[in-house]
């Protein structure tokens, strides 16, 4: 894939995450923080995702994210954090985990769709 195509996909991911942060969460940027309820389901999932990402097992992390799908705002916030984090990784880091920039984009769109946020195209 040509560099400008990769840059375009990265910008699309960033714009989708910013859209959700601004219009769904009414925040300037997406963030996911573990508050005092570290034992909540999304808190446990957040820890699991971070551990899998540190182990370069992005495919298993994404599988866990999708397997635990629910329509809560906490889940959506966590999903936005996850795909935003993946988007900051280099193509080489993603490829080392047998993942691609396109899969980041597709996974993000899938979560948004399942959450009732329809996007054109």
Other C-beta atoms lying within 10 Å of the C-beta of residue 10: 16
Residue 9 within a domain: no
Mean pLDDT (the chain, rounded): 87
Residue 46 within a domain: yes
Mean pLDDT in residue range 28-41:
60
Residue 105 within a domain: yes
Mean pLDDT in residue range 76-98:
94
Q: Which domain holds residue 103?
A: 40-115
pLDDT of 64 over the 80 cut: yes
Rounded CA-CA distance 97/37 in Å is: 30
How many domains, in total, are found in the chain?
1
Residue 2 within a domain: no
pLDDT of 6 over the 80 cut: no
> What pLDDT sits at residue 39?
61
> What pLDDT sits at residue 36?
42
Phi and psi, residue 33, nearest 5°: -125, 140
Mean pLDDT in residue range 9-32:
79
Please report the DSSP string for 5-39 in residue order: HHHHHHHHHHHHHHHHHHHTS--SS------S-TT
Residue 74 within a domain: yes
pLDDT of 84 over the 70 cut: yes
Mean pLDDT in residue range 12-33:
77
Please report the DSSP string for 37-81 in residue order: -TTSHHHHHHHHHHHHHHTT-HHHHHHHHHHT--S-HHHHHHHHH
Residue 8 within a domain: no
The 10s digit of each residue's pLDDT in 35-63 is 545 568 888 999 999 999 999 999 999 99
65 three-state secondary structure? helix
pTM: 0.85
Rounded CA-CA distance 79/85 in Å is: 10
């Amino acid at each position: 894939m040509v560099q400008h195509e990769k840059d375009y996909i990265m910008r699309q991911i960033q714009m989708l995450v910013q859209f959700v942060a601004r219009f769904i969460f009414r925040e300037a940027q997406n963030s996911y923080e573990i508050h005092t309820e570290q034992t909540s389901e999304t808190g446990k999932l957040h820890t699991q995702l971070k551990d899998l990402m540190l182990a370069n097992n992005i495919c298993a992390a994404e599988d866990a994210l999708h397997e635990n799908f629910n329509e809560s705002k906490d889940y959506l916030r966590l999903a936005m954090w996850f795909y935003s984090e993946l988007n900051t990784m280099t193509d080489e880091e993603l490829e080392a985990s047998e993942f691609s920039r396109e899969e980041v984009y597709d996974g993000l769109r899938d979560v948004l769709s399942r959450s009732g946020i329809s996007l054109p195209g």
